[in-house]
Amino acid sequence: MKRITKTMIFVPIFVLSLSGCTEIYKIGKLNMVSNRNVDNKSEYVLLRNYMGASKRELKKTKSTNLEAAIDETVKNTPGGEFLKNVKFYLVMRNGKRYYACEGDVWGLKNQKNYRGFQIGDAVQWTSLLTKKTGEIVDLNNAEECTIKVSDSGKFEKVKYDKLIKIK
């Protein structure tokens, strides 16, 4: 039998660890940016601070241009219209270039809704073969919202796809 040396074990592990590296470079910043028309007569409010700012969010971006990066950040906040205090990043992952941005998401006052759901809506969903009801207390992102369960008063995060509006 052949003897396994340290280099036979170390070299493949080292090569695999290098192939998964992600490098993030800050490429610029702007005061305000939008891919939609902003109405100067409308009253906008701050919906979320520092969206897209975590290292995890920056590393998982798949935007191949700045426009897609802006859309991804704005659309992850229900009711989002534009960004203020924006920073742009170039993300190098596995030899490919991706773009990300972070900033404060602003939207219209009293228009925070997503997929027809608004804060305060009564909803129903099934969890572990049990029907539950509750009230939406926050629209977290493009995938899920926080609901106060009627029976227990506890809070649950539920995906929009599982919800049915009951009132």
**99 shares its domain with 43:** yes
User: Per the structure block, which two tokens stand in for 31?
Assistant: 């005061």
Please answer whether residues 101 and 65 qualify as being in contact, where contact means their C-beta atoms are separated by less than 8 angstroms.
Answer: no
- pLDDT at 17 exceeding the cut of 70: no
**125 shares its domain with 156:** yes
Task: Identify whether 119 is part of a domain.
Answer: yes
**143 shares its domain with 93:** no
- Residue 139: which CATH number? 2.30.30
Cα 10 to Cα 12: distance, rounded to the nearest angstrom: 6
Give the pLDDT confidence score for residue 111 in this predicted structure. Answer: 60
The helix, strand and coil proportions of the chain, stated in percent and rounded to the nearest 5, come to: 20, 50, 35
Q: From 90, 108, 126, give the residue that closes a domain.
A: 108
Task: Identify whether 1 is part of a domain.
Answer: no
Per-residue pLDDT tens for 19-76? 458 888 999 999 999 888 888 888 888 888 888 777 888 888 889 999 999 988 888 8
Burial of 152 (0-12, 13-18, 19+ CB in 10 A): exposed
**77 shares its domain with 125:** no
Task: Identify whether 79 is part of a domain.
Answer: yes
Task: State which residues form the domain around 141.
Answer: 113-161
Averaged confidence pLDDT in the chain: 82
Task: Identify whether 10 is part of a domain.
Answer: no
If one counts the domains in the chain, the total is: 2
Give the pLDDT confidence score for residue 67 in this predicted structure. Answer: 93
Confidence band of 94 (pLDDT split at 50, 70, 90): confident
Q: What angle do CA 41, 45, 48 make, to 5 degrees?
A: 145
